Amino acid sequence: MAKFVKQEGVALENHVITTVTATEPFTCSWQCVDTPLCFSMNVRKLQTGLVTCELNNSSKTADRQDLMPRAGSQYHQMAEVDHCTVEDCIYKDALPAGWYKFGSKLIKLFPERRTWGQARHSCQLIGGDLMSINREDENEFISHLLGQIKIKGKGSNQITAHWILDGTDNDVSLINGATYEEEDGAKSLHLNGSGEYATTPAVDFGKTSFTIASWVKLQTPVTSQSTIYSDWSPPRQFIVDAYSTGELLFGGFNNKGLYKPWFAAGSPPIGNWFHVAAVWDRDANEARLFLDAQKVGTQPMQSDSYLRNNSHAVYDIGLKRDTDHTLRGYLRDLMIIGGALTGEELTNITDPNNEPLDGVWIGLNDVKTEGAFYWPDGSHVTYTKWASNQPDNQYGYQDCVEMRIDKGTWDDTSCGRQLPFVCEKKT
Ligand SMILES: [Ca+2]
Ligand SMILES: [Ca+2]
């Protein structure tokens, strides 16, 4: 069982989460052990023979300056006991700089938002890795830590896929010498117009409303139709292009094999970044093109039209497969959103902090082999806490796992989403 060490005449101030009254300090100890974020107690004996115990969400290890003299009070903090075999004596402590000790692991929640790949890299830079979770009490502990994150902006439009295109995406392949280069202060995908292109996994969005959006910087005026994003090889589905007329083009094949929609609009700049969004609104039976979040063109569609099915494994960035022509320019933040975004929503979507925040990254993933989930520390997946109907590899595409903020359950999602993350280090 857990062992607490006592210090007379002091109390930890400013960290009380709850106060309990008990017949003996022993009872309080159990309360603290059972309260995930309790790390110490201030115990005072009453004249009635009872004791009051203030449970603290910190300890003198983390907040030594808050340990103050207090007559008649005892400070209790869990002691590390060797050779624990029962779960109740998992040693936990709050440490400086936002770290927590839980069992044999050091754990920290990072609130800044990163893609899964960036998050893992951040953890590795400090000698750790993304969190591996092997026990129910570990999961519960982290789930309580997430209470420190404020849920914001639960948007109705879920980002189905998001590739930053800065080299941190796990699932973007560079073909024929395409590179990531620093351009205007951010790493971007660079295609030189001489055969270079990149691919993403195929995403199944053909039967819903959707938005395809990306930042693009063209280096030279477009003389030959230059693909931004497409699966343009038979049986082809969709194409978003910089068109030879100097306009943007949104084209698609519907399930009857007809071009629909098919229209060009807007005049994107040369040598400057612009944001292009192709919107397919099935409810309004309309396709739209947006340039820098301003609607520049629209075309009605038939109500029975949806994109033709195909079995492509990848979609192409920068390649028009039927002519092998490739785009010359830079791209970043390519997104597919499972809904028809408005201009206002497009303005918001260009800021990653406006992505709906419903969870944080943990280490679990099936990036290497679909359906074969593994932890970064190599431990076998024995304990799981999937949310109902998860993992579902939705859109054929979800390979990284978030812990949901509301319930501490797990969901596989797009690795390119930008979420807070939990790192661990072994002690
Ligand atoms: Ca998957
Ligand atoms: Ca999922």
Q: How far is the CA of 389 from the centre of ligand 2 (A)?
A: 8
The whole-model pTM stands at 0.69
Structure tokens given for 235: 């049986």
Rounded (to 5) percent helix, strand, coil in the chain: 15, 45, 45
Phi and psi of 217, rounded to 5°? -130, 110
The pLDDT of residue 395: 82
The answer to whether the beta carbons of residues 401 and 412 sit under 8 Å apart is yes
In this prediction, the residues of the chain whose per-residue pLDDT falls under 70 are 1, 82-88, 150-157, 303-305, 351-356
DSSP code of 80? P
The pLDDT of residue 2: 77
Counting beta carbons within 10 angstroms of the beta carbon of residue 34, is it exposed (0 to 12), middle (13 to 18) or buried (19 or more)?
exposed
**Dist CA 317 CA 203 (whole Å):** 13
The pLDDT of residue 304: 62
Q: How far is the CA of 394 from the centre of ligand 2 (A)?
A: 5
DSSP code of 36? T
**Least distant ligand from the CA of 392:** 2
The pLDDT of residue 155: 46
Q: How far is the CA of 229 from the centre of ligand 1 (A)?
A: 22
**Least distant ligand from the CA of 358:** 2
Q: How far is the CA of 385 from the centre of ligand 2 (A)?
A: 13
The pLDDT of residue 154: 42
Q: How far is the CA of 377 from the centre of ligand 2 (A)?
A: 22
3-state DSSP assignment of residue 15: coil
Q: Which residues fall inside 5 Å of ion ligand 1, going by CB?
A: 366, 393, 399
Q: How far is the CA of 373 from the centre of ligand 1 (A)?
A: 8
Q: How far is the CA of 351 from the centre of ligand 2 (A)?
A: 23
The pLDDT of residue 303: 63
**Dist CA 202 CA 311 (whole Å):** 9
**139: part of which helix (H) or strand (E)?**
helix 136-145
Distances (CA, A) of 172 to 24, 81, 188, 303, 331: 60, 47, 12, 34, 13
DSSP letters for 185-242: TEEEEEEESSS-EEEEE----TTS-EEEEEEEEESS--SS-EEEEE--SSSP-EEEEE
